[in-house]
Structure 1
Amino acid sequence: MRVLGVDPGLTRCGLGVVDGTPGGPLTVTAAGVLRTPADAEIGHRLLLIERGIERWLDEHQPEAVAVERVSSRYNVRTVMGTAQASAVAILCAARRGLPVTWHTSSEVKAAVIGSGGAGKAQVGATVTRLLRLDAPPEPADALALAICHIWRAPALNRLQQAHAVARPAPARARLRKDTIR
């Protein structure tokens, strides 16, 4: 499975592509950071992020996208920028029909390190070891997201299937003529 991990941010949007299977070896395919100028208009910054993510999707052809779920522990301005960058990544994946899964920072740390409260240095060291790299990668968080998804995807799929069987989908509502399709 090839997964694009997205650590969203308006100034720095981390991207990492990892190939692997649960319990099998992991390989980093690409890692990098999309940067936007802090003094540019928000629309222009989001457009730069969209173009960058589209290039990564074209180049690396992931099967799934894992995005860090926005946390409300930051100030509102930071949360807004992170949420906007996250939405761009989700939109890019949706255009291609790619499944998107959100993982909180603590879920990623718990899956990859074993402790949801681990620090950035520990994330970097663990990702370096798991991917058999010589030095901590930048961005380690985006790679950790991709690793978390590879390891958790089978369990998440089984859980979704169990929910679908236990609770049938509601009948689809009729669309009004003025509804956007």
Structure 2
Amino acid sequence: MNVRRYPMTRRKILLASARGFVIVALAGSFAGPRLALAIGPDEQQAELANAMGNAKVSLQQGFTASEREGQPISGKFEVENGKLQLSVYTAKEGKFFEVIVDHMTGNIAKVEPITEGEDLTHAKAQKAAMDRAKVKLADAAEKAKGIVGEALVVSAIPELKGDSPVAAVVLLAGKRFSTVSEPLS
């Protein structure tokens, strides 16, 4: 087979590169948000996994500490402004609160009312699930932890699946996250 080769001039190389860049840029603009979501959580998970080693208080202990501010309806460890934070949502007398529990001492560090936005929407849905639950979140988290073994409970978020309340419990074993769906009824 005889292949003819045509030398590419600098101009042709630049044009071909520019076309390739435009195609890559266009493809990136369509995949952009998905790509950002795919990268973001991995970085956040790595940061959270590294920070979790510093926690002296478990999520279950955080639930117990927050009970004086109402019924715990969800809880999670998160990295906020570069620092590990234990956040528990509670419900009391028709109102919702975010209780920040000190992850080193187990004392309540701050209580803020939840009055608007996505946080309020999530709190209402979590309360609806917990209203049908027969199992406390702390107990569900402990049971889920028993399935994996040597793991830390990172979060426990209730939801309704049909009419049945379940908790999505995220566990951290080493640097690996896993999620267990634990029935609350």
TM-score under structure 2 length normalisation: 0.24
If each structure's strand is expressed as a fraction of its own residues, which one has the higher value? 2
Q: Which of structures 1 and 2 has the bigger CA Rg?
A: 2
The higher relative CO (CA closer than 8 Å, separation ≥ 6) is in: 1
TM-score under structure 1 length normalisation: 0.24
